[in-house]
Amino acid sequence: MRRVTITNQEMTGVAGALRAALDRYRLATSAPETAWGFQSRWRIVRGVDIHDRASLDSPDATPPLVLVHGLAVSHRYLMPLAAKLAGHHPIHVIDLPGFGLSSDPGRVLTVAEHADHLADWLEATGLPPTVVLGNSFGCQVAVDLAVRYPDRVRGLVLVGPTIDPAARTAFRQILRWLGDTALEDPLQLPILARDLRDAGPHRVVQTLAHALHDPIEHKLPLISVPVLVTRGSREPIVPMAWARAATRLLPLGELAVVPGPHNTNYAAADHLAELFLAFLHSRVLA
C-alpha cells in the first residue's frame, strides 16, 4: 500500500481555501444585518417593496454599479463580487420583485416587467446612469433595460448571458443547470435552497418560461453602450460558441473568459472584479 504524505504547505493551503469558502458563505447570507460593509434597504416601487444590499463605503466615484441576479437566486450569491468592487464605486445588489428579500408583486413578472421595475427603482433612488451587471437571467433583464431605458445605463457586464438560442427549451436548460450545479462551490447549495424557498417553485418555473420567450439575440444589436460579455471556463450553460455569437451581435462588445463554472461572481469574484474594473475604466470612463 502506497503511503500518502500531506505536507504542512498543503495543509495550510486547504485550511486557507476552507476559510475563504466559509467567509464567502457568511458574506452571502449576512442580510438583512448590516455587516461586511453592506446594509439592507427597502424602497417601494410600483407597489412592491424592493430590497437592495448597498455598500456603506460609497466613494464619490461615478458611475454606481448595480448587480442583478439570475433565475432562481437572489442578491446573496452576488455578494462576493460586490465586496470586491466596494471601495471603488457605490454598489447596489438588488433583489428582483418576488425574489430574495423583495416582496411578492402578486404575479410572476416577465423580463420586460422586471426591467420596468428596475428602471423605476433607479429613478426612485436618484442614481445617475449606472453600469449594470447581470448574471444569467439577470443579463436578460439588464439588456432589456439598456434597450428600452438607454438614459439609465452607461455600460453593461453580462456574466453568462442566457438563453443560448441553440438550447431554447426548458428541458435543455434544466439539464445544463444541473450539470453546472455539480461544478459550483458546494456552499452555494444551502444559499440556493434559501433562494428557492423565498421565490417558490411556481415563480421559478414561470420565470423560466418567460426567459425562454425572450430572444436576447434580437436585442443585443440595439445596445449603444459598451458591453463586457463573460463566461465561465468550465460552464455548460453558456457555451463558448454562444458567448462569441452574443459578443459579435453587440456594436461595442468584448468577450472574456473567467476560470470556473457559471456563477463566477461567487467563487471567482477576484478575477471577475478585476475584469469588471478594467473594462469600466478603459471602455466606459475613457
**For the residues 238-248, what does the mean pLDDT come to?**
98
| Cα–Cα distance list, 220 to 57, 245, 246, 266 (Å) | 33, 10, 7, 25
Task: State the Cα angle at 132 between 219 and 271, rounded to 5°.
Answer: 110
Q: pLDDT for 264-277, tens place per residue?
A: 999 899 999 999 99
Q: H/E element holding 171?
A: helix 170-181
Q: H/E element holding 86?
A: none
Q: pLDDT for 150-199, tens place per residue?
A: 999 999 999 999 999 999 999 999 999 999 999 999 999 999 999 999 99
Residue of 208, 129, 124 whose CA lies nearest to 170? 208
Q: pLDDT for 99-125, tens place per residue?
A: 999 999 999 999 999 999 999 999 999
Report how far residue 62's alpha carbon sits from residue 16's, in angstroms, rounded to the nearest whole number. Answer: 34
Report how far residue 201's alpha carbon sits from residue 188's, in angstroms, rounded to the nearest whole number. Answer: 18
Q: How many helices (H) and strands (E) does the chain have?
A: 11, 8
